[in-house]
Chains A and B, each alone.
Chain A
Amino acid sequence: MTDKILEVQGLKKSYNGFIAVNGISFHVNRAEIFGFLGPNGAGKTTTINMLIGMAKISGGRIFYKGKDLTNNIKKAQEIIGVVPDESNLYNEMNGFDNLCFCGALYGLPKREREKKAHGLLELFGLKDAAGKKFMAYSKGMKRKLTIAAALIHEPEILFLDEPTTGIDVSSVRQIRNLIKELNENGTTIFLTTHYIEEAERLCNRVAFIDKGEIIQIDSVEQLIKASRETNIIEIHFEPVTYDKTRLLEKLNEIFPGIECVLKNDSAIKMVSISKIDIAPVVNYLSAEGLFIYEARLIKPSLEDAFVKATGIEIDLMKKEKEKK
């Protein structure tokens, strides 16, 4: 049996009658990265807030390490680290002091917290900014310091609420690598995100959440596997002049059972339930005078699984986020 660090049963939250989280159940295994994937207003932050003791629970139970702490989350706070969706460190204090103060809140003696603070600043590449006031940090630096602050007491489980939203690409990459690294060192990670590729790349298990309900929950591989057993092949060629409509008509006629669509001027996408025999297709296209330089199998991604399960269009979700 795997070791569950956190278990949630029928967790519910309503705000004056509005149900934000509707009786969700899941568990988080020790030393895994568990992801909550969902659009705006799905209930991700609300769920985290209940789990960390920042929101009252309207119903359900929360177990940490097998102990029912539903009414006493305070008892779990020692093993919890939290990175909220907005940085909440002290603006008027510098990076180093901020970390030391956070360490002190968990009762770390002075020498120890100073040592840890130096270590974390180093790890997050913030050494040069240690003496700078938090308010003078860039967004990415703020996020990194906020993560560092959540780690100073070496929590067993780290909650990350959209850790990579709204920061630059290189910081995103750095943060994702750090999350992986932390996890490899044994920290359990609970992360919310609306980036599918983030969930796919980082998480062991993922829950799709929408409108306060968990729609699907499984390991990333299982989710992808369960999402349509389809075969997708993309064929790329030099964009020479050819009659697009005629070519597609012909293809669909000669190869029944394969759905052919033009991806762009220089690529055709072929989708089929069964395996696709590429040779005849390539031969035919070649005979039609196209210069083919690539044909590849496209694996269905977590994105396909997510779209299928929730019916939410990814592009829409991204756009909504960016607006915010």
Chain B
Amino acid sequence: MKSAIAFWNILLKDMKNYYLKPPNISWGIIFPFAWMLMMFLRTKTAFNIEEVFPGIVGMSILFGTTSMLSVTITFERKARSFERLLLAPISIELLITAKIAGAILFGIFNSIVPVLFSVLYFKAFVSSWAVLITGIILLSIISTLLGLFISVSAKEVFEAQTYSNFFRFPMIFLCGLFIPVSALPLIIRPLSYILPVTYGIDTLHHAISGNGFLPIGIDFIILAVCCFLLFFISIYNIRRRWII
């Protein structure tokens, strides 16, 4: 019960303080919108929405979650208020779960606009809503955890910020957001396979067109395993690096 109160209030505080702030909400709407517009202008004519849909949704999630995480964790660490959380009589696992829950929800929220826009305006065809929703949730979780992993791998706050940007942008190209992994040069393809976001994007392809480069079941399993690993490695790193 006590832990539940702590958990809920950490999440609520982050939402109130960071997520529900007007700039963040509008960012979540404008950002995906701008990307779609750019696509539209580039191709001049109507583009194949099914092709760009996973990329735009993936992008919104990736940027939404990682930028939030850098505020709720990296920024709070810099301001030292994170210490307050570490001093609370709750386990670090629960504390981190509460911290990332907000980012995950924000990622999911960020995907709503591009999904609705694609479906309602561009009349994108979704072959499985169940797979799409699961995929969005899993992608939000995995990109949050990846962000967490990166931000706790650094001892210093500024390093965390640098790392975060260092990874975020290449992932757009490496993880099949707009360029299919199969179209990438062979030598960089292993990188794509290492990055779990690739499998998250693959589930979105499944949801839209009904096929991806791996069977959907395998995607889910890989994602689940990666989530598990990233979470515990991150906790381990927090214990090792932050409590010096």
State the Cβ distance, A142 to closest chain B Cβ, in Å: 12
> Residues of B contacting A56 with CB < 8 Å?
243-244
Interface size on A, residues (CB 8 A): 28
Given A77-B89, A105-B6, residue A89 in contact with residue B84 (CB < 8 A): yes
- How far in angstroms is the closest Cβ of chain B from A8? 18
- Name the residue on B nearest A159 (C-beta): B87
Q: Choose from B3, B80, B90 the contact partner of A84 (Cβ within 8 Å).
A: B80
- Per the CB 8 Å criterion, the residue count for chain B at the interface is 24
Classify the interface of chain B: helix, strand, loop or mixed.
helix
Residues of B contacting A80 in the complex (Cβ-Cβ under 8 angstroms): 87
- Residues of A close to B85: CB separation below 8 A: 105
> In whole angstroms, what is the CA distance A92 to B84 when docked?
15
Q: Which of B1-47 contact A (CB under 8 A)?
A: 1-3, 5-6, 8-10, 13, 17
User: How many angstroms from the CA of A31 to the CA of B23 in the assembled complex?
Assistant: 49
Instruction: Tell me whether A106 and B79 are in contact (CB under 8 A).
Output: no
The CA of A92 and the CA of B20, in the complex, are separated in Å by 13
Cβ A88 vs Cβ B6 within 8 A: no
Dominant SS at the A interface? Answer: loop
A2–B81 Cα gap in the complex (Å)?
36
Contact A77 B83 (CB under 8 A): no
Q: Does B91 contact A (CB under 8 A)?
A: yes
B1, B5, B8 pick with most chain A CB within 10 angstroms: B5
Q: Nearest chain-B residue to A76 (Cβ)?
A: B89
Is B88 close to A, CB under 8 A?
yes
A91-B79 contact in complex given A56-B243, A105-B9, A107-B2, C-beta closer than 8 Å: yes
Chain B residues with Cβ under 8 A from A67's Cβ?
none
Asked if B91 contacts A107 (CB within 8 A), the reply is: no
A 205-227 contacts with B by CB, 8 A: none
A228 sits at the interface (CB 8 A): no
Q: Are B88 and A54 in contact (CB under 8 A)?
A: no
A93 to B243, CA, bound (A): 26
Instruction: Say yes or no for A109: interface residue by CB 8 A criterion.
Output: yes
Residue of A nearest to B240 (CB): A56
Asked if B89 and A78 make an inter-chain contact with CB atoms under 8 angstroms apart, the answer reads yes
Residue picked from A54, A55, A102, A107, most chain B C-beta under 10 Å: A107
A 85-110 binary contact with B (CB < 8 Å = 1; else 0): 01011111100000001101111110
| B229 in contact (CB, < 8 A) | no
**A60, CB-defined interface residue at 8 Å:** no
* A105 x B243 contact (CB < 8 A): no
- Whether A202 is near chain B, meaning CB under 8 Å from some CB there, is no
Name A's B-contacting residues (CB within 8 A): 15, 52-56, 74, 77-78, 80, 82, 84, 86, 88-93, 101-102, 104-109, 149
B-to-A contact residues, CB < 8 Å: 1-3, 5-6, 8-10, 13, 17, 79-81, 83-91, 243-244
9 contacts between A and B (CB under 8 A): A15-B244, A54-B86, A54-B87, A56-B243, A84-B83, A91-B79, A105-B10, A109-B5, A149-B84
